[in-house]
Homo-oligomer: A and B are copies of this chain.
Amino acid sequence: MTTTENHVRNGVDTATLFATLDAVKGETGIAKFQFRATNQWLSGTHNRSTIHGFHGAMQEMTHREPFTFDADHPPVLVGKDNAPTPVEYVLHALAACLTAGIANIAAARGVHLTEVSSTVEGDIDLLGILGLSDEVRNGYQQLRVSFVLRGDDPEKLRSVVEQSRRRSAVYDVVTNGVPVSIDVDAG
C-alpha cells in the first residue's frame, strides 16, 4: 500500500482526523464553534437562507462559498413548492450527520464501507400547527431512520452506526432539544 492508501480510508483522511483530535486535546478552546445562517423572507411561505461564515478553531472562518437554500410549502399546504418544507430539512440534517459520523468512525476503526444509504421518515399531524388541537404537538411525533450499510462484517457495520448515533450532533439536538431564544427588532 502507498502512503495515501494508509491515510485515506472511505474518503476520510485519517491522518488529519487523528492530528485534529491531538490538537484539540492540547487546546480545548479549538473545539468551541459557532455556526450561523441568515434568512430572508421572499413571499408567502417562500424564504431563503444563506450559510457562509462560522467561528471555530479560535478564529472566524468561511465556507469556500456562500451556500443558499430555499424553503417553501407545497400547494397542499398553501405554498408554491419552490423548495422543500422546513421540516424536511430536519430529516436531511439528521441523515447527513449520522452518515458523516459513520464514515469517520469506520475510517478511524479501519472498517471498510462500500455503501451507506438511508431513509428518514417523520410523522406529523398538522392539527397542532393549524391551531385546531391543543393536544397535538406542532412538530414531528416520531422519526424513523433506516440504514443500509455494505462493506465489512455486518456486526462491525452495526457497531459503527451505534457509535455514530452516540456522537451525532443532530441526533442529540433532535432527540434532546436545545434552548432557543428569539429576539425581535420590529422598529
Residues in chain A within 8 A of chain B (CB atoms): 10-13, 16-17, 20-21, 24-25, 28, 31-47, 49, 51, 54, 56-57, 61, 63-64, 67, 69, 71-74, 76-79, 81, 83-100, 102-104, 107, 113, 115-133, 137-150, 154-155, 157-158, 161, 165, 167-187
Contact = CB atoms under 8 A, between A and B. Distances in A.
Contacts of A181: 142-145
Contacts of A161: 182, 184, 186
B44 A125 contact: no
Contacts of A144: 180-181, 183
A85 B97 CA distance: 8
This protein's copies in its complex: 2
Nearest to A33: B124
11 contacts: A24-B126, A32-B123, A33-B126, A39-B117, A63-B74, A71-B96, A93-B93, A146-B183, A150-B186, A174-B174, A177-B177
Nearest to A72: B100
A78 B16 contact: yes
Nearest to A114: B41
